[in-house]
């Protein structure tokens, strides 16, 4: 079965061949062909961000969408699937490297491919990442038209056995990984419903707020 990107390559390649064959002979033929190819490449790139499959297809599980969009195990291994009320986040590794997430919204017909219109991403400014012995990076994802929020972050520290909780006094899912660039690296992630600026993390004895982060424009 063709995956998400291969479907687009084959589709627009066929479109290119068809349009070129229909191009009339003449001195402007090369110009017309170049214009057509440029348009086809542009449409191909645009179609990756606004998947037409969502109009016709719904998948039974988040893993089914992942297997189609990312190529499944050919791309990476799933670490965990975190379910929200109207969506799910897949945490996965790629070439033994952690730091990858895939978020799929759930609709009436099933799970669908994410696009620019369905998932908003809130990143942190690099100047706001230091908290005592911890360098913290957190990304917040919001599913449009829902109350689903997911977070995915990393911590660089020399500390061992670091405790991570949130403002709801819930233990945050996390794991350690080997990293040759730093002494220690911790990955943490989870789901929160109706996330507000009052929500924060407690990493060791350091409070990591996301209030300013949620005020910034999503990227």
213 phi, psi to nearest 5 deg: -60, -40
Handedness of CA 125, 127, 132, 136 (dihedral sign): positive
Contact 110, 59 (CB under 8 A): yes
The overall pTM is greater than 0.85: no
Q: Within a 10 A sphere around the Cβ of 101, how many other Cβ atoms?
A: 17
> Mean pLDDT for each consecutive 10-residue tract of the chain (219 residues)?
53 60 58 61 56 76 87 70 96 77 92 86 73 91 94 89 93 81 79 92 93 71
Nearest of 124, 173, 131, 121 to residue 156 by alpha carbon: 131
Contact 87, 105 (CB under 8 A): yes
Query: Rg (Cα) of the chain, in Å, rounded?
Result: 21
CA dist 197 and 48 (Å) reads 32
Predicted local confidence at residue 207, as pLDDT: 94
103's enclosing H/E stretch is strand 97-107
CA dist 147 and 86 (Å) reads 8
CA dist 103 and 116 (Å) reads 12
The C-alpha torsion from 139 through 144 and 145 to 148, rounded to 10°, is -30
CA dist 47 and 50 (Å) reads 5
Nearest of 71, 200, 121, 42 to residue 210 by alpha carbon: 200
């Amino acid at each position: 079965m063709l995956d998400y990107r291969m479907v687009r390559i084959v589709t627009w390649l066929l479109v290119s061949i068809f349009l070129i064959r229909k191009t009339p002979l003449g001195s402007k033929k090369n110009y017309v062909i170049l214009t057509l190819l440029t348009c086809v490449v542009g449409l191909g790139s645009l179609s990756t961000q606004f998947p037409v499959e969502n109009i016709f297809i719904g998948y039974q599980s988040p893993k089914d969408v992942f297997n189609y969009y990312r190529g499944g195990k050919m791309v990476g291994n799933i670490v965990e699937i975190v379910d929200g009320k109207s969506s799910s986040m897949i945490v996965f590794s790629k070439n033994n490297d952690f730091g990858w997430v895939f978020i799929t919204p759930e609709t009436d017909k099933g799970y669908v491919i994410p696009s620019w219109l369905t998932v908003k991403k809130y990143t942190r400014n690099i100047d706001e990442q230091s908290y005592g012995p911890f360098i913290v990076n957190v990304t917040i994802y919001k599913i449009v038209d829902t109350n689903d929020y997911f977070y995915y972050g990393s911590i660089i520290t020399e500390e061992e056995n670091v405790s991570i909780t949130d403002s709801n006094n819930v233990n945050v899912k996390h794991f350690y990984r080997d990293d040759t660039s730093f002494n220690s690296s911790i990955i943490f992630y989870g789901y929160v419903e109706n996330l507000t600026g009052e929500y924060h993390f407690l990493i060791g004895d350091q409070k990591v707020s996301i209030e300013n982060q949620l005020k910034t424009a999503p990227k």
